[in-house]
Amino acid sequence: MTRRVIHLLALAAVIGAVVLTLIWFGQRRLIYFPDPRPPSLDRAGLDGAEAVTFVTSDGLRLGAWFVAGSGPSPRQTVIVFNGNAGHRGYRAPLAAALQHLGLNVLLMDYRGYGGNPGSPTEEGLANDARAAREYVLSRQDVDASRLVYFGESLGAAVAVRLAAEHPPSALILRSPFASLALIGQHHYPILPVRLLLRDRYPSIDLAPGIRSPVLVIGGTRDGIIPIEHTRRLYDAIPGPKTLVEIAADHNDEALLDGPEMIQAIARFLV
């Protein structure tokens, strides 16, 4: 091996080490895409909604909206765990559709999202989810025996973890993945994703402990969470469970508040 080749290999090794170091320290910017602006409740168009706050175990005060259902009491109450982007304002159409079914809805934002303090991490979002549940259960207009978790994409992993700790009456997972490592490996096949990830969201490891009835909704055209990954998590859930597949991509309206999805939720809950 010539000295030139050795120098080139050494240079490549240094460049590789620098790239991996940058990925290690900057990876959360590739996972979380918060809209840090406080959303406007006045512009959300949600009847009977109120702005509320609750405090996490590590002292962060988080903003949320509680939307009262349109049906008679006692109602089911749905906590919505958002995906990795935006803020609760983007989920107002979902809340309105669920409210129309007669359900109470809590639209919450994680730390770092929607004007909330802090920065998102896996453990941080788990704390935020626990605090949201505790807040909802503290309300007199909420039936503790009729609590539902709705998790969207990354939020599905948050909901799975909370369900394993505190089983709800029902669990709805929209575009869930088996684990963040598997999704990362799918999108970045040349990188050692399993070794690099700091936040792992291993839903498939928690799935066997889920005992609540589960509705899983996936998009057959989803380019972010391929349907095969959703099916893999679904297969790991022991049941009772229902799988609904919709011909849509990850961010299509059909998977936000589309009629096929809302009808599936109505059949599952109401």
Q: How confident is the model at residue 48 (pLDDT cuts 50, 70, 90)?
A: confident
In tens, the pLDDT along 67-106 reads 999 877 768 999 999 999 999 999 999 999 999 999 999 9
Which of 6-15, 58-67, 118-127, 134-143 is the least confident region?
6-15
3-state secondary structure 160-222: HHHHHHCCCCEEEEECCCCCHHHHHHHHCCCCCHHHHCCCCCCHHHHHHHCCCCEEEEEECCC
Q: Where are the domains of the chain?
A: 1-31, 34-269
3-state secondary structure 214-270: EEEEEECCCCCCCHHHHHHHHHHCCCCEEEEEECCCCCCHHHCCCHHHHHHHHHHHC
Q: How confident is the model at residue 3 (pLDDT cuts 50, 70, 90)?
A: low
Q: Is the pTM of this model over 0.85?
A: yes
Dump strand ranges (E) for 20-102.
Answer: 33-34, 49-55, 61-67, 77-81, 85-86
34-269 architecture in CATH? 3-Layer(aba) Sandwich (3.40)
Q: How confident is the model at residue 196 (pLDDT cuts 50, 70, 90)?
A: confident
Q: Quick check: 187 pLDDT over 60?
A: yes
In angstroms, the CA 27 to CA 193 distance is: 10
Over range 35-54, report the average pLDDT: 95
Give, in order, the Cα–Cα distances in Å from 215 to each of 64, 147, 248, 253, 259: 24, 14, 17, 19, 16
Over range 47-68, report the average pLDDT: 97
Between 188 and 120, whose confidence is greater? 120
In the block, tokens 């999805």 appear at 261
